[in-house]
């Protein structure tokens, strides 16, 4: 076993002494050493229930004949970090998580690992870490939150809190309702109820084969989730004994499966960054054109919050990701999963319980998948939009630029009714390096929706969007402003054309005019000059490369 380097031979007497000090018996030294990377924290609703799941993972590892070792991984709640300096940190956290997994597992020569995760950047960070390590691994996602309730109406976090801000400013929500929304929109443990980044990544992790079947949608409060946690603990020991590693599971074919399911679900645009970063760690080439190619041939067959009326609980009760795989089988590769089963076997065993929630292709919500990739003189290296959340009449849009160099400036303009129909809100210097950390723009996009402007105002940014964003919002504009992207020299009143069906985003400026403007352009001062974010800003790559750090 890999861990023998720390526990076998006469020269390891000191090492064994330290291991015995943790409570290990001599018999335990003959067992596979299994790390459990847990991101439990009291700060994140999606993670507060993990203490319970830790018990079941531990039980499963012991049943399987392994010795479990728990260690902590930091976590951030994107919703709480949203709209202020805190949002500079979540994407940068992804690298810390991956580095933590690598560091602890290699320093202690662990034989295998279970990663207990749930929310936005922690799940991809753990996948990046295990891909880099390439020791037997399983990901356990802690599960979606159930919907809230008010006055016989289902509540969802983004729709009923972020979008409520602008409505409250306009006096459209009573104080009684506002207090109730605050108290009831998030009724307990779990990742927020729609296809935001956390739940999208959980579904794609299962699709890739790095979680056991059912893990992606099993609710946080369910006994099913406990059983999956225990089964994952048992199974990872078997993976160690059979030496089945992530490199056998995270392949070009399984990543293409993940992209296909992403497009069919209409998931978060953040997955573009994350899947490319995971692919990079796995040594697999995955680029923006792959996403767009798959999107053009994959119907959008579910309609989940924030774009639709269904919730993650509806996907779960309709058969979960196995049911989605069943529907998409003809478009998937038959890849290996951590369960030992191949994707086609999982699909064949599945049942679709609700044909309205997981629709047949003939009744798809859209002919194309959830995400489109745009190119043009405003985004020479690409930009990303969640097209499944765009009103059909806004798929093509012409408007005048309103320029903001920070999210907060744009937010104030929206809330103070300074944004009008026909405007294109431009938020720049919010990219991976310029942000730093490529902040999510959920607050301004939700404010636009709440102000009733979703059908007449577009937003573009070199930052990114939450999975909760809806409307004509184009992010990941590359190159970013801080890297001399054309977005850096836009001016108020410039005419911008967005053409999602034809995958174009253009500013009505000649190449000569853009070059002329750059002659007088000066880069802005870094917003953060010390600490981790300053280092991150210097090392991070462009969004079209997955915002990886090398």
**Which residues form the catalytic set?**
466
d(CA 485, CA 378): 8
Question: Three-state DSSP class for 390?
Answer: coil
Q: Which helix (DSSP H) or strand (DSSP E) does residue 517 occupy?
A: helix 511-519
Alpha carbon 7 to chain centroid distance? 38
CB 216 within 8 A of CB 202: yes
CB-based contacts of 14: which residues, under 8 Å, 6+ apart?
Answer: none
Dihedral class, residue 245 (left if φ above 0, else alpha if ψ from -120 to 50, else beta):
beta
d(CA 212, CA 218): 11
First to last CA, the chain: 30
CB atoms within 10 A of CB 40: 22
CA dihedral 316, 318, 319, 324 (to 10 degrees): -100
CB 143 within 8 A of CB 218: yes
* Cβ-based burial of 512 (10 A; exposed 0-12, middle 13-18, buried ≥19): exposed
Alpha carbon 193 to chain centroid distance? 14
């Amino acid at each position: 076993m890999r861990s023998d380097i720390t526990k076998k031979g006469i020269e390891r007497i000191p090492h064994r002494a330290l291991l015995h000090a943790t409570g290990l018996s001599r018999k335990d030294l003959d067992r596979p050493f299994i790390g459990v990377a847990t991101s439990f924290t009291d700060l994140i609703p999606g993670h507060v229930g993990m203490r319970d799941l830790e018990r079941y993972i531990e039980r499963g590892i012991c049943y399987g004949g392994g010795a479990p070792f728990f260690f902590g991984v930091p976590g951030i709640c994107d919703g709480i970090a949203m709209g202020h300096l805190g949002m500079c940190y979540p994407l940068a956290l992804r690298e810390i998580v991956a580095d933590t997994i690598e560091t602890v597992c290699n320093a202690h020569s662990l034989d295998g690992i279970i990663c207990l995760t749930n929310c936005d950047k922690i799940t991809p960070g753990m996948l990046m870490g295990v891909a880099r390590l390439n020791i037997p691994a399983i990901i356990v996602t802690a599960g979606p939150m159930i919907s809230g309730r008010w006055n016989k109406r289902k509540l969802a976090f983004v729709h009923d809190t972020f979008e409520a801000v602008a409505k409250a400013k306009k006096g459209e929500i009573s104080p009684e309702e506002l207090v109730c929304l605050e108290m009831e929109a998030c009724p307990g443990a779990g990742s927020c109820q729609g296809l935001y980044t956390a739940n999208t990544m959980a579904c794609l992790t299962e699709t890739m084969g790095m979680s056991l079947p059912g893990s992606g949608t099993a609710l946080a409060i369910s006994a099913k989730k406990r059983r999956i946690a225990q089964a994952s603990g048992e199974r990872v020991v078997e993976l160690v004994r059979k030496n089945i590693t992530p490199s056998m599971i995270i392949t070009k074919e399984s990543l293409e499966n993940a992209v296909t399911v992403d497009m069919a679900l209409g998931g978060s645009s953040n997955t573009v960054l994350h899947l490319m970063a995971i692919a990079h760690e796995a040594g697999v080439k995955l680029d923006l054109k792959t996403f767009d190619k798959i999107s053009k041939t994959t119907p959008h067959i579910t309609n989940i919050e924030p774009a639709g009326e269904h919730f993650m609980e509806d996907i779960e009760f309709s058969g979960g990701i196995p049911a989605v795989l069943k529907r998409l089988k003809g478009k998937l590769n038959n890849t290996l999963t951590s369960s030992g089963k191949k994707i086609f076997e999982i699909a064949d065993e599945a049942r679709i319980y609700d044909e309205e929630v997981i629709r047949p292709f003939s009744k798809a919500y859209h002919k194309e998948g959830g995400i489109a990739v745009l190119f043009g003189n405003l985004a020479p290296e690409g930009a990303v939009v969640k097209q499944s959340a765009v009103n059909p009449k806004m798929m093509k849009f012409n408007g005048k630029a309103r320029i903001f160099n920070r999210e907060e400036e744009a937010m104030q303009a929206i809330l103070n009714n300074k944004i009008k129909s026909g405007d294109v809100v431009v938020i720049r210097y919010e990219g991976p390096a310029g942000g730093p950390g490529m902040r999510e723009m959920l607050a301004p996009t939700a404010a636009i929706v709440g102000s009733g402007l979703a059908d007449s105002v577009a937003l573009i940014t070199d930052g990114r969007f939450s999975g909760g964003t809806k409307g004509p919002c184009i992010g990941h504009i590359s190159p970013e402003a801080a890297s001399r992207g054309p977005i850096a020299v836009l001016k108020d009143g410039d005419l911008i054309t967005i053409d999602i069906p034809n995958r174009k985003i253009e500013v009505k400026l000649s190449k000569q005019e853009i070059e002329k403007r750059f002659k007088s352009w000066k880069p802005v001062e870094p917003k953060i000059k010390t600490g981790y974010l300053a280092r991150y800003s210097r090392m991070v790559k462009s969004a079209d490369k997955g915002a990886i750090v090398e």
